[in-house]
Structure 1
Amino acid sequence: MDWKSAIHLRRRRRQSATVADDDDENDITEIKLPKKLQEYFSHPLDSSVKTFQETKDEHDLAMLHSLLAELFAGVAAVKSAYAELQLAQSPYSIDSIHAADRSLVSELKYLSSLKRSYLKDPLSLSPSNSYQQSQLRELKELIKTFKINISRLESEQQSKDSQVESLRSDLDEIERENRSLEYQLLIKTNSHHHISGLNPTHFLPELRLTVKRVRSFARAMMKSMESSKLDLNSAAGAMYPNIVPDTKNLLFFFQSFVSHKMFSGFHHPDFNLGFLESRSNRSREEFFREFNDSKLLSSSQFLDRWGDFVRAKFSAMVHPKIDPGSDLFPRFVEMARRVWILHCLFFYFSGSEFSGSIFRVRSGCRFSEVYMESVAVADLDPVNRYSTPTVGFTVVPGFRFGSTVIQCKVYLSHHNTIIPDVLKKKKKKKILLYQMMMNDNV
């Protein structure tokens, strides 16, 4: 190769290199262009992927909520079906038992199918009801269960009421038998001297029975007031404003109040009640016959015969606004019967050599062991022996038949238990309230 050919070849190589450089620049530009596009579209693409993922998570969460709601609804349905099954067994009903059993099995099968589907593929599980529908179903099943429980409790209450009525009937029968035996015993005891053989010693057992009924009613009245959210201490203070009520002796306050009302007019043959005026002309023998007849009467029979007397005494003692309750009035009727019996025996002695009288001791009088008996043992303990015991109020009246004295029962009040005049004004509003409640001006 001559030198001309070599120069020509070298020149061609330079041109080829120049073209190649230009081509390389174009190639680099083409490679960078997709990277810029990728950078340009990178953010919108990531946002779309994220939105898609959030949508999928929300769907899965909603499906899980629906599943749990359906599960709770199924459990509530099982409880409801089981409650129906229990209710159908008492009283026994074969049709109701079969229906409740089918319902219970159906709900258990449905819960079992939910469990199998969830274990197989949790994400593919789709409950038949929506979240709100499942919640509504659960509430309906709970209401159904509550209604079944109410029906069961009502049935139990009816059964208990029947037992109570049966026991009351048995009790009335036993009381009638007891009164019959008492009457036969009384006849046998006095068969040799008849009516003329009666003396004040026969009055004391009847008085004790009457006082027992008075105390029983006083307790029932206190319970009734407590259930009505009334303050017993304030009520006791309203009865006797000058005496500081002692919590452990509150029963004596109420017993005194009841006794005062029940023995009001006791010294009159007609209890100083206009509708009993015909009793004023009765003889001693008639009172004695009525005494025996009344002892044989049950409480309901006595109420039928002397209902006006019972209602008059009850309205004088209990304010109309106070609910007597299921237990209060029957106790009152029995107490009124015992007072009536004692009243008949009391007037049998009137006009005889044992002509009777009833007495109470005024508040503030000195205590006398001849005519009085203290109801609270602590009133006469050594701690208080240097103080002067005075009568706070009479709990049970006393009786006198000729030279025989039956002591009255009193609640004693020492000098340190009297409320000062300064404190009386502060209690005035409460006292007026409870006086209105008791329908009495103490």
Structure 2
Amino acid sequence: MLQKFALAVKTKTIEFFAEEDEEEEEERAVGVDDPDACPAPEEVITGQRVVVLRPDPAPRPDPETLTAAALAALSSFQAAYLHLQTAHSPFLSDAVLSADRAAVSHLRRLSEVKRLYLSTGPGPSPVPTSALPLSFLLEAQVQDNQDLLRTFEALVDRLQSDIDRKDAEAAALEKALADLDGSGVRLAHRLERACMPAEERVESLLTIGVFDSVLRDTCRVTHRFARVLIDLMNLSGWNLGVAANCIYPDVNFTKPGHCRYAILSYICLGMFGGFDSYDFCDDGDGVDMDEIDVSIRRTDSLQQFIEHSALDPLELMRDFPSSDFVKFCKKKYAKLIHPGIESSLLRNSAIGESLLGSLTPSSPLYESFASMASSIWMLHKLAWAYNPVVKIFQVAPGTEFSMVFMETIVPKVDKLHMDSGSSSRPKVGFTVVPGFHVGKTVIQSRVYLDDSEQTL
């Protein structure tokens, strides 16, 4: 009967306290051994004292275990939140959703740990709870370590991004530093030249490269004026071949179109006439150089070159009609374009006869001629700033071609002449652009070769 009752209430322990009577113990022992002596269910057993204990309440979670689990869940939530922030910059939708789910999961776990912790207070538990399994703590620790590892990976990625950005900034700063170093070197050279004495400063500026550069600009604007003049001659019905034959009657041109080089030569040699005179006078009435001190001549010439380079020649001719440059322009224009030529060029124009032969703004040659004259004027002033003075030379027609002092103005023709089997050197037909001696350096004269002995 007691055994059935104990099974019904699921008792944990049953204690029997019997009287210490040997005879009763022997009878109880015999009764147990004899199956026929089993008491009937209605039999009341006397002399026994039975104590029934209720089941013990379920063991409550250890506070230390709960604390460790709470810390692990909090650390995991912190790592998940960091991943959530990282996924926003740049924005990655999949990473944001994954980090959000992980953060919510850790918050739920933290809430469960809180509920378990509150259930460990004094008195009976308000909510029936079960013992916190050991796997819960181990799982929390594993999850915590994984989240820490992912946190470190995110931090490493962020640090690597910062390193790349710093490297790019460092490269940009290095380039800026190199540019500043180059600027510093140039400024140092300028300061060094500025601190030089006047004589040394002039010497540092006056190089062969400077003169050659100004000469090239002069040739460019001279070609431009020649094209304008040739276009006017064509419009006026001029025969360029006849005009070229009048300038150089005994020259055989390789091609009919090469007769324009004769007109270009006429312009260049006319404009450069008197270049070896200090005041650019080609009539023999120039200033005597023995009366001019070298340093004064060089300083004055360089100053005029610098000042003139900053001026507009058209404004100079309009505002200062009595200046030396304007006088130079009028004299050269009158020599190149005399009244007969201009009258022929402008026969269909409404310009009055009184304006022919004079340099006026109404002339179609006015602007291009002013630019050409200004460039040649600057080249002359620069030449007289050198010591010794730059010397000009030209090659006489019929002279044998020399590669030291000459270059042909038509390179392909030059190559044909050089490759031909003729034993004699080609002859110069005429000089197009004069050459110059800058100290011991020769700037070659540009010539046109006579084609009298060549057939193409």
TM-score when normalising by structure 1: 0.48
Bigger share in helix: 1
The answer to which structure, 1 or 2, has the higher relative contact order (CA under 8 A, 6+ apart) is: 1
